[in-house]
Structure 1
Amino acid sequence: MTLSEADRERLADLVELQPTKNSVLQDRWGMDSGSEVHQYLESTLRDYYYRDENSLIRATAEAAELVGEGGEGDEAPAVHMSDAERQVFAVIAGPGERAESVVSVLHAVRDEFDAPDLEAADVRRALQTLKRKGIVEVEHRTVPTYRLAVAREDVNLEDPSGDGEHAAASEA
């Protein structure tokens, strides 16, 4: 997706302000309503943002890379992950490895984290969320298979306690 210079500037705002709300972007971009912000995000920046479980707007890793955040010497933006997403992230195949099915990832999570109650639907949901965040990529074979789109150490995990501290993926 090719973005105009104005769209790139707005994407940079999103990266800078994340996590954010429609109203904050509305003020920054001089739009008339949160609905107008939502329409713009969906029509122009759809591939570069997602909403977390609190409905806050966050930029994908690809968005941060596109606007020059998280490059050499810079710390990547913190990525918020639920417990299931963290578990999937910890066990899924790396960027150079063979992509895995949902069931394969499910078994790996159950083995690694002693999570017998975790279901395939939970893993599928976590994989789709990580895909939207630009962390996981899908390879379509007989069934969709997944692997990391970026190296684990290149992902800066947001501390789940919410105290503002960040944990490197290698520490997770």
Structure 2
Amino acid sequence: MTLSEEARERLADVVELQPTKNAELQDRWEMESGSEVHQYLENELGDYYYRDDNSLIRATPEAAELVDVEPGVEDDPDADGGPSRIRVPRLHARIVEVLAAPDEESESVVSVLHKLREEFDVDADAEDVRSGLQSLRRKGVVEVEYRTVPTFRLAVDREDLEVSVSDSD
């Protein structure tokens, strides 16, 4: 299957963002709906992606080789728990920097937003932070605790995680 330049770029996004979901790709690709993303995946990238047991979108090993992009998540077989390396947008990297550690009390989206604004003067809204936390959760870096509102903390120690910022913020 020969891919167009646009399809190669979008496949690189799938590799980089995996595990991901339609909404995240919809934002990245500036599409109107999750259905449009699904149709694109099926029609253009059907041989290069699959959905895991949690219905998250992942690239095949062949896809990663084809586009020569590092996967968004790399697991260390010797490490306990989550991934050892992630590649994420700048906002997500900053969330990792300010979010409560695994042994600390989890915190709300608003708490994380305030920390981001204080520490980095970030111009984000609560939905951006919520989306970032959920993306990091899917990557196994963040865990959620349900109290009155969902609260979050890192699932891995900061020093055991290498975070690189992807080119596309």
TM over 0.5: yes
Superposition CA RMSD, Å: 3.4
Partner of 2:38: none
Give the residue type in structure 2 aligned to 1:79. I
In structure 1, the residue corresponding to 2:88 is in which secondary structure? coil
Alignment of 1:118-129 (within 5 A): 118-129=124-135
Structure 1 ranges of 4+ moved more than 2 A = 18-21, 33-37, 49-52, 56-61, 158-162
Q: How many residues align?
A: 116
CA-CA distance at 1:158 after TM superposition: 2.6
Sequence identity (%): 39
**Residue 37 to residue 70, structure 1, CA distance change in 2 (3 Å):** same
CA-CA distance at 1:78 after TM superposition: 3.0
CA-CA distance at 1:37 after TM superposition: 5.0
CA distances 1:68-98 after superposition (whole Å, capped 9, x unpaired): x3416xxx65311111101111000000000
Instruction: Tell me if 1:151 matches 2:164.
Output: no
Task: Using structure 1 for the length normalisation, give the TM-score.
Answer: 0.55
**Residue 110 to residue 50, structure 1, CA distance change in 2 (3 Å):** farther
Task: Using structure 2 for the length normalisation, give the TM-score.
Answer: 0.56
Please list every run of 5 or more consecutive structure 2 residues that lacks an aligned counterpart in the other structure: 1-14, 19-44, 65-70
In structure 1, the residue corresponding to 2:148 is in which secondary structure? coil
Task: Kindly indicate whether structure 1 or structure 2 has the higher relative contact order, using CA contacts under 8 Å at least 6 residues apart.
Answer: 2
Please list every run of 5 or more consecutive structure 1 residues that lacks an aligned counterpart in the other structure: 1-17, 22-32, 163-172
How many Å separate the matches in 1 of 2:107 and 2:153? 6
